[in-house]
Amino acid sequence: MSDVKHYKCTSCGAPINFVPGTDTLVCEYCGASVPVSDLLKEEKNAKSFDWTAYAPEELTATPDKEYVCASCGATLQSFDSQFVTYCPYCGNNVSALEETKGGMSPNLIIPFNIKKEEVKPKIREYLKTKKLLPKSFLKVAMNADVKGVYVPFWLFDCEAEGEISLHGERSVSESFTNDKGETETREKTLHYRLEREGHFELNKLPVDASTHFDNKAMDALEPFNYSQLTDFSDVYFTGYLAEKFNSTPDDEMQRTKRKIQEGITDFFRETERKYSNIRIIEDNTDVKIDNIKYAMLPVYTLNFNYGDSKRQLFMNGQSGKIIGDLPVKKAKAFTWFLGTFTVVLAICSLVSFLI
């Protein structure tokens, strides 16, 4: 069995937890605070992920391990999807460094910025803006547990170079003579193939590295403010859960290339203002990966059952952005449709009366 390091209050021995939005850890029992910088001096650095020494066969999940909690002596099981971050028996924080040996320590981390107690009020305000949401959903969501999780991401520095063909459209007005001999105009759409060559560089393109989180949801939580990206330390894990990666950069390459293509398409939509409906029809760019960093990004999750289905709400733990697939109450949808229809019809009636 392996021993683990603990972060505990030097005054009373209770667990100390990182306080979001600050650079301190606070003891939840006696209130004593410790600057993060003091603990960073103490820790030994595990070997961080190194892209230049990347060997795909070495990037496998670490096997299940057992640890002993130095505070209460309980046996802690490390599962291959999560870092051990706290003892479920005595609540003491434990260090994840033991599990990050072999070059698997994350390189970077964005610490939580939103406090856990702020999550539910923000979610309540968010759900109240959804006009078609059943009232019972809000009630169920407010009773769910909030979990703060550091989600693993690969941050790609990459470049794409080569030729690319895009489809673009332009609208023009065309005059013609109708059957009655009158001149009329009509809108026509001209379709073009735009052939371009270019060099595109993207920095820290995030791709989530865990199959336990829906890719669409993790993409929708962006952006993360990288000015708060800092060197990894497991001090920031205190009080939170943390997932290990279980999807390698090679596994995520197709998705990365798709994101690069989306970036290139958006680039041309911004620069080729003469054309609309721009989309890629042929991509002959070569993608070269310059660097990959292993980063932990903060996410709050709410998981609960609503009716027959499992529901999840996610909050970006840095910016507070909330996303989730929400149910629609059909009666509310019908009411909105009928109400809008009636109001617009009444306005049209008034207008036609006044004409």
Cα 169 to Cα 241: distance, rounded to the nearest angstrom = 49
Pick the binder of other proteins from 29, 79, 89, 341 (CB under 8 A): 341
Cα 29 to Cα 11: distance, rounded to the nearest angstrom = 10
Pick the binder of other proteins from 50, 58, 195, 250 (CB under 8 A): 195
> Which residue stretch of 35-43, 61-69, 114-122, 159-167 sits at the interface with other proteins (rule: CB under 8 A)?
159-167
* Residue 199 found at the interface with other proteins (CB under 8 A): yes
> Which residue stretch of 26-34, 37-45, 294-302, 342-350 sits at the interface with other proteins (rule: CB under 8 A)?
342-350
Q: How far is the CB of 97 from other proteins (least distance, A)?
A: 30
Q: Cβ closer to other proteins: 120 or 329?
A: 329
Contact letters (x/-) for other proteins, 246-285, by CB under 8 A? Answer: -------------xx-xx--xxxxxx--------------
Residues 311-330 that bind other proteins (CB under 8 A): 323-328
Pairing assessment for the beta strands 309-316 and 276-306 based on DSSP bridges? antiparallel
> Which residue stretch of 59-67, 128-136, 143-151, 302-310 sits at the interface with other proteins (rule: CB under 8 A)?
128-136
Residue 297 CA, chain-centre distance (Å), reads 8
| C-alpha count within 13 angstroms, C-beta hemisphere, residue 79 | 5
Binding site for other proteins (CB under 8 A): 129-133, 159, 163, 167-168, 188-205, 214, 216-217, 219-220, 222-223, 259-260, 262-263, 266-271, 323-328, 333, 336-338, 340-342, 344-345, 348-349, 352-353, 355
